[in-house]
Amino acid sequence: MSDRKFMLTDTMSRGLKALEPVEPGHLKFYSCGPTVYNLAHIGNFRTFITADLVVRTAEALGWKVSYVSNITDVGHLTQDDVADATGEDKMAAALRAKGQEFANVWDLARFYADAFIDDWRKLNLREPLVRPRATEHMREQIQAVDQLVKSGHAYATPSGVYFRLSSFPEHGKLSGNVDKEQLQVGVRDVVVDDNKEHPGDFALWKQDDKHLMQWFSPWGWGFPGWHIECSAMAMKYLGETLDLHAGGEDLVFPHHESEIAQSECLTGKTFSNHWIHTRFLVVDGEKMSKSKGNFYTVRDLVEDRGQDPIALRFALMATPYNKPLNFTMQSLSDAGKNVERFRECRRVAESTLDRPGSADISQELDRIYGEALDAMCDDLNTSVALARALEGTGVIFRDQSRLGGESSKIALEYLDRIEELLGICPSSQVEERSFEAELELDMILRSELKAAKKFDEADAIRLKWLDQGVELRDTPEGTIWKLVQS
Ligand SMILES: [Zn+2]
């Protein structure tokens, strides 16, 4: 295990703090997943990439990582920016809007969850240990609500079960949103439940026997609140205290604030020792919106526009997570060039494996990798880490003509380590070179070897191709090739 410290900004203490798993070397990490009522956009994926980079960095430090990222498929209401969310279930609203396309709300949930996982894999994100779905954890949620009622932290009304804010004086500690009288500010058309003790008391369970997705509970037919889902699933798989909890910055309040209140009232323990939040993404300097035509899903870019998903990943991590990211088509194109550089580097290393080499790049690449890891441990400083990673490809290209055998292996190991850490140069992405391209590369290499007076090595290349029925012939105009007549 590395003795490096993994520093991450902590939303709770509002400063940089070393991430320290309670069980040394074993990170228990929960990251809020999507609500599957539509396709996740690239801003959502920026947040999931942050979680992925936490996992990769922790693993690079030699830690074991228990990573859980959920799927919300019920209970997330349309007006979710206030303490007690109101409006319609996003799933039901989506079914109403797209009714023709889906048989029912379950069909819609399955379609968007599958699409999400598909995009996740395209962007080369690590699979979580568990990807729990809210609809499959109803027993745990109902038990949690029941326990909160029994311990006096929640109460039932004819419309549902509500968390009693007054029972948790620390409410607001994550977001700083402590003025309970202000918790409903910004609400339009609030349906006031006169039975609630305080307008900010939020729903743990909604009573609704007309809801498209409903379960039977001690309070009748209904469905859970969005916040209790995450508390129940996180604690089921990771225990009462998490080492780290992550999400987008829009989740600080009320979602994460509410998760803390519920969980800490259930266990009497700190819910998570560390909190990180990814900043927002804008496109061409403006908030993404469908009406402005600057709203992108992964599919829009990868399937409709033929963009490389690894280039998209690179572009989404080019700015560190704790700064707003301005995404532009130019940034995607620049990322594509960088990703292609890694691929070319891998081709060079692979194609030189079988020949003798004399490049001495081991120490230099070790140092560069170490600096990339240092940057990741410095609050996931991806812009520095990516620059270091590219510096390594410069070393490999510089010594290209002397690569071979052991040194080619060292170059490939470097690329594999960078892939493990940053996910930007997967080996499966390297397509086989065509016969012509391979020959072209070898002819260049052979002339470089001849210029360096390494005639034996140059001749080995000639003989290799002759074996395959290709004759290389030197002419005053340069080397040409022709197929040997058999
Ligand atoms: Zn959540």
Helices (H) and strands (E) counted in the chain, each on its own, are: 14, 18
pLDDT reading at 75 higher than 60:
yes
For residue 283, what is the enclosing H or E element? strand 281-283
Whose structure tokens read 């692979």?
A: 350
Question: Using CA atoms, how far apart are residues 365 and 238, in angstroms rounded to an integer?
Answer: 37
Q: How far is the CA of 407 from the centre of ligand 1 (A)?
A: 46
Q: How far is the CA of 256 from the centre of ligand 1 (A)?
A: 7
Q: 283 pLDDT band (50/70/90 cuts)?
A: very high
Q: How far is the CA of 175 from the centre of ligand 1 (A)?
A: 15
Whose structure tokens read 């026997």?
A: 209
The structural architecture, per CATH, of the domain 7-278 is 3-Layer(aba) Sandwich (3.40)
Mean pLDDT of 311-326: 98
Q: How far is the CA of 145 from the centre of ligand 1 (A)?
A: 16
| In contact, 72 and 36? CB cutoff 8 Å | yes
Give domain limits for the chain.
Answer: 7-278, 283-429, 435-483
End-to-end CA distance of the chain: 59
Buried b (16+ CB within 10 A) or exposed e, 166-199: ebbeebbebbebeebeebbeebeeeeebeebebb
Q: How far is the CA of 257 from the centre of ligand 1 (A)?
A: 10
Q: How far is the CA of 255 from the centre of ligand 1 (A)?
A: 7
Question: Using CA atoms, how far apart are residues 97 and 185, in angstroms rounded to an integer?
Answer: 28
Alpha helix segments (H runs only) across 176-328: 226-238, 257-267, 298-299, 309-317
Q: How far is the CA of 235 from the centre of ligand 1 (A)?
A: 12
Q: 292 pLDDT band (50/70/90 cuts)?
A: confident
| Per-residue confidence (pLDDT) for residue 437, from 0 to 100 | 72
Q: 8 pLDDT band (50/70/90 cuts)?
A: very high
Q: How far is the CA of 32 from the centre of ligand 1 (A)?
A: 4
Whose structure tokens read 């963009």?
A: 307
Q: How far is the CA of 33 from the centre of ligand 1 (A)?
A: 7
The percentage of the chain sitting over the pLDDT mark of 90, rounded to a whole number, equals 77
Alpha helix segments (H runs only) across 61-173: 90-97, 105-122, 138-150
Output the pTM of the full model.
Answer: 0.86
Q: How far is the CA of 381 from the centre of ligand 1 (A)?
A: 25
- DSSP string across 414-448: HHHHHHHHH----GGG-PPPPHHHHHHHHHHHHHH
Mean pLDDT of 248-254: 95
- DSSP string across 191-234: ---TT-SSTTPPEEEEE-TT-SS-EEETTEEEEE-HHHHHHHHH
Mean pLDDT of 290-311: 93
Q: How far is the CA of 450 from the centre of ligand 1 (A)?
A: 62
| Per-residue confidence (pLDDT) for residue 181, from 0 to 100 | 53
Q: How far is the CA of 53 from the centre of ligand 1 (A)?
A: 19
| In contact, 102 and 95? CB cutoff 8 Å | yes
Question: Using CA atoms, how far apart are residues 424 and 314, in angstroms rounded to an integer?
Answer: 6
| In contact, 30 and 236? CB cutoff 8 Å | no
| Per-residue confidence (pLDDT) for residue 179, from 0 to 100 | 65
Which long-range contacts does 22-25 make (Cβ < 8 Å, 24+ apart)? Answer: 22/241, 22/243, 22/273, 25/1, 25/62, 25/63, 25/64
| Per-residue confidence (pLDDT) for residue 183, from 0 to 100 | 60
Could you report the per-residue pLDDT of 176-215, keeping only the tens digit for each?
Answer: 876 655 565 444 445 567 789 988 899 999 999 999 999 9
Question: Using CA atoms, how far apart are residues 263 and 246, in angstroms rounded to an integer?
Answer: 16
| In contact, 232 and 72? CB cutoff 8 Å | no
| Per-residue confidence (pLDDT) for residue 365, from 0 to 100 | 98
The percentage of the chain sitting over the pLDDT mark of 70, rounded to a whole number, equals 95
Q: 486 pLDDT band (50/70/90 cuts)?
A: low
Question: Using CA atoms, how far apart are residues 294 and 300, in angstroms rounded to an integer?
Answer: 11
Domain 283-429 in CATH 3.40.50.720: no
